[in-house]
Structure 1
Amino acid sequence: MELDWQSVGTFGIYTLAGVLCIAGFILSCLSLSGTWVVLAATGLVAWHRWPAFPGLATLIVFLLLCIGVEAIETMAGTWGVQRRGGSKAAGMAALAGGFIGMILGGFIPIPIIGNLVGMIAGSFGLAFVVEHSKMKKADHAAHVATGAVLARLGVIFLKVGITLAMSAALALGCVLTKQTT
């Protein structure tokens, strides 16, 4: 009985792509750039199946989605703070606080949830401190910091949704299209 190395390689590529898509989902849940990891998985599958699906068009669409998500994320925290009457400094503080909180939240012994709680608390806390130090009004600072949290949560939902949509499109496209060899 001879081993079919081509089938083993194909299985390995699809397995690696699946692991990358799962990792992308987890990263997106943490508000990190999971869409880029799914783009890498798509590139791997495109290389293996070329010229069949996913192909160049899918790679370009996924690249544009990744860039769009990053652009929205860059503006969201500041937008959420400023929409509620906060300063640019509070917006930057919310971004930094979210990152620091995400790292510290890793010490909470509940995977992903701990990081998420830390990120929300850090984003709120640092935005609150910065805005309160400027205005000296706790209710205004809380209102502004809540805007930062809502914007952060919106971005997480967007990232998770786009990551899942990209992963599903990749999986379904591979199943539904025939590979040419």
Structure 2
Amino acid sequence: MNYIATAFVFAFYLTIPQSAFSQNDLIREEKRLASEMYSWANNCVGPCILPKKFLEGGSGKPFILAALKLKEDNKALRVIGAAYCSSACAVLVDKLKSFGGDVCVEKGMLLRFHRAFALEPNPDGSKKYEDTTPTIAVPGAKAWIDANGGIPADGSWIVIPTSIVATQYGYCP
């Protein structure tokens, strides 16, 4: 088993707080998504087309590990078929580009980022958001986000404009 496959298997056990293990459904979903993303990244034939069901994102870690797998296997990624690539989908595009991978998005597609929410809620039961701004790795996109107030603290979207998407990530031919 290679490093990326091993990372998919163990990443969640190492990063989920012990108190979160009572949330069995969430953990089961994390494992399912990690397995599905790894299988897709491992088996796709480049250029790999991201399945539409992943365009709205999901948990970030499986998408980041998929970016590592695509880069490791030198596979190109094409993100097409929607107006937006959101949440972990946008993180996949950003990470693969920052790793030096070949990635493009459909012309006119926008990337949407938001703060991730923690597995454990605040004491009052409300969602606890984590500052995900430092995870944006492509310098021009991060600079634009920073210049425009950063990723909103309330978990709402910040939408990267087409001019930044085109110059920093690239539109597919």
Band the TM-score falls in, shorter-chain normalisation:
under 0.3
- Greater gyration radius: 1
Higher helix share: 1
Bigger relative contact order, structure 1 or 2, given CA contacts below 8 A and separation 6+?
A: 1
